[in-house]
Amino acid sequence: MELVISGLSKTYANGVKALDNVSLTIPTGMFGLLGPNGAGKSTLMRILATLQEADSGRAMLGDIDVLKQQQEVRKVLGYLPQEFGVYPRVSAYEMLDHIALLKGVVNSRERKELVEALLNRVNLWEHRNRRIAGFSGGMKQRFGIAQSLIGEPKLIIVDEPTAGLDPGERNRFYNLLTEIGENVVVILSTHIVQDVLELCGNMAIINKGVLLFAGAPNDALASMRGKVWEKAISKHELEQYANSHALISNKLVAGRPIIHVLSAGDPGNGFVSTEPSLEDVFFGAIHANQAHVAG
């Protein structure tokens, strides 16, 4: 099973082009969709989740036309949005039972077995009678995964799942997603580069509706090797270097900025070559896109 997206475009009434002729092939497994806030990731996710219409283009999940056969898509779709609503006074068990019923699991015995299996799978069985409103952020996300798995989906869409999670919850969430992604298409939409590096065998970078890169993270890193240069500078020099070099990132180390710049050759002036990170790939692609638009 794979998801093939061809020429997908969407422009909002205010003139913002959220998607600009995006084409992608997403195989079974974990696929990372990287982009800053406002890049068009959520628009793409909502279109694939049948919550929004595209202006043009096509998306095929196997032999299902995602844009034209929305009811068929919903039968095989699991969706975990960035924020999902729940009834505040309902327990985790009751809520999952209700969602399973809505998804067509009408046999009470089958539904009971399904709900119990899902709660155990996401490690929430001991909390099954607690109100979801009292769950921690990580517990809510694990519940969200449980509800997305009802109906044995072939496509699971997860939008910004680890925002606000502590490291322990984040790791548990990673492990659960990795397990799920062995047999279905899982699209992980995020602006957190580390999420993609740790989870995904394939990825894409999108910015301002334009697809900037699609491929394996290791291929992305290889494409940047020998082009990323590092230097420690003082804070007051930051603006100067931002104006004179293709600055792709800066971070403070012991109170001093360490900058990374993109250059095909040695920029001199104390820069040293450094091994690129996926973060360098991400910001480098965005910088190149912005320079192209400005030019």
- One pLDDT digit (tens) per residue for the chain, 295 residues: 899 999 999 999 999 999 999 999 999 999 999 888 888 998 999 999 999 999 999 999 999 999 999 999 988 998 888 766 667 689 999 999 998 998 888 999 999 999 999 999 888 999 999 998 888 888 888 888 888 888 889 999 988 777 667 788 778 778 888 888 888 999 998 877 878 888 899 999 998 899 999 999 989 889 889 999 999 999 899 989 989 998 998 888 888 899 999 998 999 989 999 999 888 888 888 877 666 555 5
Task: Give the type of residue at 264.
Answer: A
Domain count, the chain: 2
Residues 192 and 236 in one domain: no
pLDDT value at residue 286: 81
Residues 150 and 81 in one domain: yes
Last residue of a domain, one of 193, 214, 235: 214
Residues 72 and 199 in one domain: yes
Residues 61 and 132 in one domain: yes
Residues 16 and 107 in one domain: yes
CA of residue 172 relative to chain centroid, distance: 17
Residues 129 and 173 in one domain: yes
Contact 150, 78 (CB under 8 A): yes
Residues 226 and 206 in one domain: no
Burial 229-245 (b: 16+ CB within 10 A, else e): bbbeeeeeeeeebeeeb
Residues 208 and 239 in one domain: no
Measured between alpha carbons, how far is 163 from 170 in angstroms, rounded to an integer? 9
Task: Give the type of residue at 93.
Answer: Y
Residues 69 and 196 in one domain: yes
Residue whose C-alpha is closest to residue 237's, from 266, 261, 262, 272: 261
Residues 160 and 231 in one domain: no
Residues 19 and 121 in one domain: yes
Helix-helix angle 108-121:137-148, to 10 degrees: 140
Residues 104 and 242 in one domain: no
Instruction: For residue 203, give its domain range.
Output: 2-214
Beta strand pairing status for 228-232 and 256-262?
antiparallel
